[in-house]
Structure 1
Amino acid sequence: MKKLLSILLIGSAACAQAQTKPGEKLVQYVNPIIGTQRMGHVYPGATVPFGMVQLSPETDTAGYELNGKYNPDVYKYCAGYQYDDKTIVGFSHTHFSGTGHSDLGDFLIMPTVGTLKLNPGTADKPGSGYRSGFSHQNEVSQANYYKVKLDESNIIAEMTTSARVGFHQYTFPKSDQSHIVLDLMAGIYNYPDKNVWTYLRVVNDSTVIGYRQTNGWARTRTLYFAMSFSKPFFQHGYKKYDKREVYGGFWGKFNQVKNFPEIAGRQLRTYFDFKTEEGEKIKIKFAISPVSMDGALNNMKVEIPGWDFDKVKNDGQQLWETELHKIEIQGSKDTKENFYTSMYHTMINPTVYMDADGQYKGLDQNVHKAEGFTNYTTFSLWDTYRALHPLFNIIEPSRNADMVKSMLAHFDQSPEHMLPVWSNSGNENWCMSGYHSVAVIADAVIKGNVNFDANKALDACVATAKHRDYEGIGEYMDKGYIPDEKSGVSVSSTEEYAFDDWAIAQLAKKLNRNDIYEEFIKRSQNYKNVYDAKSGFMRPKLADGTFRQKFDPLSTINEGFIEGNSWNYTLFAPQDPKSLIELMGGNKRFVGYLDSLFTMNLPDKYFAETEDITRDGIIGNYVHGNEPSHHVAYLYNWTDKPWKTQERIRMILPRMYKPTPDGLGGNDDTGQMSAWYIFSSLGFYPVAPGSDQYSTGSPAVNGAVINLEGGKKFTINVKNQGDKNVYVQKMVLNGKTLDSLFISHADIMNGGEITFYMGSKHK
């Protein structure tokens, strides 16, 4: 590994400045291997910006053991790939990027030679199945391109994509026994009965269509496919693995195992046989559709009509080039690699969820057509409302507006009449807490990014926030907090609801709907109802109005919080820092509390509470790997020691983000971790989405230009930058010295420039 890292970091030792040059290719700085080791949970394969296909290798999968026992690797393999693994099982077409839950991994393909093996084999004996060993020295990972040599078969595997089509290119050795295995039962998280049904039909000797129905994180999900080979196969077959199925019945009159034109079952693996010459390339186009097999065929026809692999690769990389150039920075090679890989990670999710003709399957499982917008899915909103969507409101405003339209379509199709909480593939999985789509909508409207009916959007926000049957909202409305008896995350949900209510209030105020504003601005103060002045912490509160007696503010288990402890969540009121400071005893005590968060030594016992808790992403008791802490370093800006924000930001950046395989200090969570890096590197951050204000920090780049959608530019100049010069001496915005620690959204979107003057001592 040391040898590989030295290759990855060639030229970085001297930290030579890599200034952006006119026309410079920025794709060269994208390294998808960053974050594939340990807890980053990103994948190294090919995708285009916001693409529906994510074509990537699986080094292993997770699920239940044969006896039904839970497999702890379900967390390890959220993206299907772990850098430390030494074998590849195959290449599948759908992945989540950076999540803390395993799913997807649809339609796994693996090329092999020799005796046909339809079982994957094991990591310690890859030759026992179609699995193969590989070396990182023979691996290339770029934006929209992945390449690796499969050691067992001596096959070179390459892949690239369009939005809805995965394009494979396999270079075979000479063999009369060359195979392409299509595993229709594979998945990143395979528990019993996840596969509801699979179907495959052979159209001719080079085209196959079918679908897969699964019951996973999306409980009713059908994904259709069309698969086309550049060379006809001379025979094909399959094997069923579900012992509950029988081969007989009426269909038993046929020999279905070999060369039968259609196959159906719960657990299927199929294969296609070829004879190859030395160095012969077999290419595969694999299109997917949420609507139909015909939709998949049309997606293939529209997006990749020919067989020019390099053209598809180059076209996709040009799409990335366009996106990456929306922010052009100056800095060292390491800084550029961190920054543009972060940009890449922010533009993977949400993903397009509709066919080329605009049709998609909605939450009601009916087929709809997106009229006048692109429909998106994969909304990890508990994570992404904080910085990812605010980033889009600057560099992707039109796309973000379409995402809001997708959320409103979700609301219209929802039997619960709620906006999305965590949605994917025309399903709602209700993961995490809060109703944070309201913050995304409010942020878009407040910042003027509206090409939708804002009043209708507000009505949807209000309906969601008043859904009494959902996750303690009824008790929250009646009591002003969620009682401990009603929810295991009663405190954090109360705090998150209060923030969302504040966002609704801002939206109502913008639209001059004062009755709603008054109602929700009052609700936004409910976070105070779970603050225990005696202990100095947010604390579980019982239905009778008393605080729970047994309580450990450092524990993450059964203390009323989700992905955090009380010490962290006591600082969660990003909508109201000034009042929070007063609530906690004033400036001096608040600063001391903040300081202790970063400097305390969290005892080892708290890392043994569950299998998932490690010291990754943690500094003291500050948990950067979990999103509720992402605004915390900026809270010093509301105290008499704002320089500590600058100091903390410049300490966090190099510790949590590095241009190495383990370079992400926690799950990237569909781009939120990376969005934090981008904002903080540029010198400002959206502490409270739904406000038009950004809190300033300490820029880590040497300079930057944000190329805005309308053609304007916002330039960030940094004078006297250096590793020790982390303190801002003054800021000048458009020629005038700033007398506050905040800039507005209009300051950015109107164009102009801000100059940070840096020094080694705080002011």
Structure 2
Amino acid sequence: MKKAFLAIFLSSALSAGAQNLVQYVKPIIGTARMGHVYPGATSPFGSVQLSPETDTISYEKPGGGYNGDVYKYCAGYQYEDKTIVGFSHTHFSGTGHSDLGDFLVMPSVGKLLLNPGTADKPGSGFRSPFSHANEVSEANYYKVKLDGPNVLAEMTTTTRVGFHQYTFPKSDDSHIILDLMAGIYNYPEKNLWTYVRMVNDSTLVGYRSTSGWARTRNLYFAITFSKKFTSWGYRNFSGKQSYNGFWGQFRNTPNFPEIAGRQLRTYFNFKTTEGEKIKVKMALSPVSMDGALANMKAEAPGWDFDQVKKAGQDAWEKELHKIEVKALNKDEMNNFYTAMYHTMINPTIYMDTDGSYRGLDQNNHKADGFANYTTFSLWDTYRALHPLFNIMEPKRNADMIKSMLAHYDQSPEHMLPIWSNSANENWCMSGYHSVAVIADAIVKGNVEGIDVNHALEACVTTARRRDYAAIGDYIDRGYIAAEKSGTSVSSTLEYAYDDWAIAQLAKKLGKNDIYEEFTKRSLNYKNVFNAKSHFMQPRLADGSFKTGFDPFTTHNMGFIEGNSWNYSLFVPQDPKALIGMMGGNKKFVTYMDSLFSYDLPEKYFAETEDITKDGIIGNYVHGNEPSHHVVYLYNWTDKPWKAQEKIRMILKRMYKPTSDGLGGNDDTGQMSAWYIFSSLGFYPVAPGSTEYAIGTPAVYNATINLPNGKKFVIEAKNQSEKNVFVQKTILNGKVLTKPFLNHEDIVNGGTLTFEMGAKHK
């Protein structure tokens, strides 16, 4: 009896310790409106993102500009749509710009239609109606019933392989369409070239070259079917159709037919029995068709769909267990672990299994001693995503930095990445925030395999690049003149912050001359501060402030994705000095309070896409990243408790377990990283520093399982939805007298205890 009891006890303890966390991941969260995430399958940091497209219409307006869909369908999927066009293999997660959507696959039954049809008449093409009632979205698994062809579609992935499983009805006319002209950045002229070669009667290889947001992007594929097709064909939408063989009379040999063109859709015909499953595997490579074949052989050699799904979900389980939390309720568990999931989608691995990758110089390279990554949305992610990696994923973050340094070495401009993807620099957004990511890692001691002196050289060279984005004007004047740039104020502020980060890196490495140079440059934020208005304002080349200033608008005011009211708080490197400039503690607190209480007039939403109602609380723009540190600035005043009540309010209003549950673009994980840090009770206000500002935990407890084998435990005593105020903070038995935490306190392991209450102290 004792042995039986002991066995039951141990089994129960094991189950508790090995709790299934994948169950709390709901990729459907944020798929409506502004979240711009996708519901499909992907592995942690995977090269393949296999997901449905509900539309990809993004054609240019006559006379120039976009019709709006280029923004709406950044991830290819909008929850309110009623039809699916197909399932493609590459997607951005949470971005504000579209691209990718490569190699769209779609099953069909009956008469072969090679046009997608329209949302209002899906039967006019291969598009299909669907119902959310028949849709399942999990970590590394997506399933949906396609009502048009009566086909059940399922998909999962490895790092480099998308695995489809289609359950067909009985039919002599079953088809699988491979659309090689589709793309989320869906302008016909952006599809430069496509090539396909038949390997045998169930396998093809090929590539396509596109010129979208990434202007010279090449992607190679290998696709294989679990069943031989009875016939096949293609249509060149700039030419004629050919049946039963790709070249027809123009094929070179009967065994290796091939096609090439700009606007190709191919199809494969089958006879199916009732409930028959046809499986499709597509492997991707940034380097070659042989690389794609090798990736498939290495990662998905067999046809066991459930086994691949389980392996992928096990990989997610391992990642999710890096932070184990007990939240207030199931909704909050869903929010937390979906946020964890979203932080581990990007950046994405960009190399074959043998380490081969395409470099920025468009040559092929081998990653030597590191994993090469792409998809660096650095204007967003330097703030919280990469600092989160420095706690959870230091080795992976070090590899990301090595990838940035490889980008620098291959760059004709000799610059670190700004916003890079697929061996291309997109030059999107302001600042040179790679330097903040690099400085943050090295200052915090995450230097595994990084040549720190080379890293400093790359940071300094980038920051001295006078001919990029008015850096020369910034260096000469100490600010960017309004005549030189439409984002003169925000860019000045961001450069100043980045310069401070470089100074911290130089100090860490004992380079005093560089430290002094960039410390001086980091004070340039003062040069766009108007002491009369107490706002950051655009300044003309003659030194005067531009007239007609409006602190609530972004239009023609020198800011990007924010207004002066928000950007006037963008001095994360020196909040104490900022408070003094703005008139001292009392005036600063009043300013902060008004940020959250003042409701923007309707006209400011209509004038620009940079400010949207989805991410707004009063005049606080949580949906755009320049505000993400702002609430924590209360910690530098005599009223840090005001941060606590507002953090809980932001968590509740901006993050919900629903399809519209993200109050703005997730921006490759930055919004979600803010949620994770803030739920745990601290936040990296100024990456490049080892200091975190303490807020208020939103969980009962959390355990960060550190890669060094230690644990950092967070406890919240008397936790509830009403008890949002911290009464006392205790670190390893010692009461903290200031609302700050050091990086070493976390990575050395220990316990942080919050005593919570309903009233502030």
TM above 0.5: yes
TM-score when normalising by structure 2? 0.96
Distance 1:549 1:101, change over 3 A: same
Q: Which residue of 2 aligns with 1:185?
A: 181
Aligned counterparts of 2:251 and 2:706: Cα–Cα separation in 1: 62
Q: CA deviation at 1:553?
A: 1.0
Q: Which residue of 2 aligns with 1:134?
A: 130
Q: Which residue of 2 aligns with 1:605?
A: 603
Q: Which residue of 2 aligns with 1:354?
A: 351
Q: Contact conserved, 1:401 with 1:450, CA < 8 A, in 2?
A: yes
Q: CA deviation at 1:702?
A: 0.5
Aligned counterparts of 2:701 and 2:492: Cα–Cα separation in 1: 40
Aligned counterparts of 2:25 and 2:15: Cα–Cα separation in 1: 14
Number of residue pairs aligned between Structure 1 and Structure 2: 741
Aligned counterparts of 2:756 and 2:320: Cα–Cα separation in 1: 27
3-state SS in 1 of match to 2:570: coil
Q: CA deviation at 1:213?
A: 0.2
Q: Contact conserved, 1:237 with 1:259, CA < 8 A, in 2?
A: no
Distance 1:243 1:68, change over 3 A: farther
Matched, 1:406 2:403: yes
Paired amino acid for 2:517: E
Corresponding residue to 1:624 among 622, 625, 638: 622
Corresponding residue to 2:745 among 744, 747, 750: 747
3-state SS in 2 of match to 1:239: strand
Corresponding residue to 2:118 among 122, 128, 152: 122
Q: Contact conserved, 1:51 with 1:351, CA < 8 A, in 2?
A: yes
Matched, 1:274 2:298: no
Alpha-carbon deviations, 1:48-84, whole Å to 9, x = none?
A: 0000000000000132169676321111100000000
Aligned counterparts of 1:612 and 1:464: Cα–Cα separation in 2: 27
Distance 1:748 1:205, change over 3 A: same
Where structure 2 has 5 or more consecutive residues not aligned to the other structure, the ranges are 1-13
Paired amino acid for 1:679: F
Q: Which runs of 4+ in 1 moved over 4 A?
A: 65-69, 243-247
Paired amino acid for 2:56: T
Q: Contact conserved, 1:41 with 1:100, CA < 8 A, in 2?
A: yes
Q: Which residue of 2 aligns with 1:63?
A: 58
Alpha-carbon deviations, 1:568-611, whole Å to 9, x = none?
A: 00000000100001111111111111000000011011111135
3-state SS in 2 of match to 1:62: coil
3-state SS in 1 of match to 2:649: helix
Corresponding residue to 1:540 among 507, 518, 538: 538
Q: Contact conserved, 2:37 with 2:94, CA < 8 A, in 1?
A: yes
Corresponding residue to 1:448 among 445, 449, 453: 445
Q: CA deviation at 1:243?
A: 6.1
Corresponding residue to 2:686 among 681, 685, 688: 688
Q: Which residue of 2 aligns with 1:77?
A: 73
Q: Which residue of 2 aligns with 1:762?
A: 760
Q: CA deviation at 1:620?
A: 0.3
Q: Contact conserved, 1:236 with 1:259, CA < 8 A, in 2?
A: no
Distance 1:80 1:711, change over 3 A: same
Corresponding residue to 2:478 among 466, 477, 480: 480
Aligned counterparts of 1:137 and 1:255: Cα–Cα separation in 2: 46
3-state SS in 2 of match to 1:616: helix
Q: Which residue of 1 aligns with 2:362?
A: 365
- Out of 746-755 and 189-198, give the one that drifted further: 189-198
Matched, 1:429 2:407: no
Q: CA deviation at 1:614?
A: 2.9
Aligned counterparts of 1:105 and 1:150: Cα–Cα separation in 2: 19
Q: Contact conserved, 1:20 with 1:328, CA < 8 A, in 2?
A: no
Matched, 1:29 2:27: no
Q: Which residue of 1 aligns with 2:103?
A: 107
3-state SS in 1 of match to 2:18: coil
Aligned counterparts of 1:612 and 1:517: Cα–Cα separation in 2: 35
Q: Contact conserved, 2:562 with 2:611, CA < 8 A, in 1?
A: no
Paired amino acid for 1:273: N
Corresponding residue to 1:325 among 302, 321, 325: 321
Aligned counterparts of 1:401 and 1:141: Cα–Cα separation in 2: 31
Q: Which residue of 2 aligns with 1:495?
A: 493
Q: CA deviation at 1:254?
A: 2.6
Q: CA deviation at 1:253?
A: 6.1
Matched, 1:254 2:280: no
Q: Which residue of 2 aligns with 1:669?
A: 667
Distance 1:387 1:209, change over 3 A: same
Distance 1:558 1:172, change over 3 A: same
Q: Contact conserved, 2:554 with 2:608, CA < 8 A, in 1?
A: no
Q: Which residue of 1 aligns with 2:11?
A: none
Q: Which residue of 2 aligns with 1:582?
A: 580
Aligned counterparts of 2:341 and 2:63: Cα–Cα separation in 1: 38
Aligned counterparts of 2:61 and 2:613: Cα–Cα separation in 1: 32
Paired amino acid for 2:425: E
Distance 1:122 1:325, change over 3 A: same
Q: Which residue of 2 aligns with 1:392?
A: 389
Aligned counterparts of 2:475 and 2:240: Cα–Cα separation in 1: 49
Q: CA deviation at 1:245?
A: 12
Q: Which residue of 2 aligns with 1:15?
A: none
RMSD: 1.7
Matched, 1:552 2:550: yes
Q: Contact conserved, 1:53 with 1:94, CA < 8 A, in 2?
A: yes
3-state SS in 1 of match to 2:16: coil
3-state SS in 2 of match to 1:753: strand
Q: Contact conserved, 1:118 with 1:269, CA < 8 A, in 2?
A: yes
Aligned counterparts of 2:234 and 2:483: Cα–Cα separation in 1: 52
Distance 1:67 1:268, change over 3 A: farther
Q: Contact conserved, 1:68 with 1:192, CA < 8 A, in 2?
A: no
Q: Contact conserved, 1:27 with 1:317, CA < 8 A, in 2?
A: yes
Aligned counterparts of 1:67 and 1:236: Cα–Cα separation in 2: 37
Alpha-carbon deviations, 1:520-561, whole Å to 9, x = none?
A: 011001001001111221110001111101221101211100
- Out of 143-152 and 550-559, give the one that drifted further: 550-559
Q: Which residue of 2 aligns with 1:214?
A: 210
Q: Which residue of 2 aligns with 1:11?
A: none
- Out of 373-382 and 542-551, give the one that drifted further: 542-551
Q: Contact conserved, 2:232 with 2:266, CA < 8 A, in 1?
A: yes
Aligned counterparts of 2:183 and 2:520: Cα–Cα separation in 1: 46
3-state SS in 2 of match to 1:315: helix
Distance 1:112 1:157, change over 3 A: same
TM-score when normalising by structure 1? 0.95
Aligned counterparts of 1:270 and 1:751: Cα–Cα separation in 2: 56
Matched, 1:48 2:43: yes
Q: Which residue of 1 aligns with 2:261?
A: 265
Where structure 1 has 5 or more consecutive residues not aligned to the other structure, the ranges are 1-18
Q: Which residue of 2 aligns with 1:340?
A: 337
Q: Contact conserved, 2:200 with 2:255, CA < 8 A, in 1?
A: no
3-state SS in 2 of match to 1:756: strand
Aligned counterparts of 1:65 and 1:408: Cα–Cα separation in 2: 36
Matched, 1:95 2:91: yes
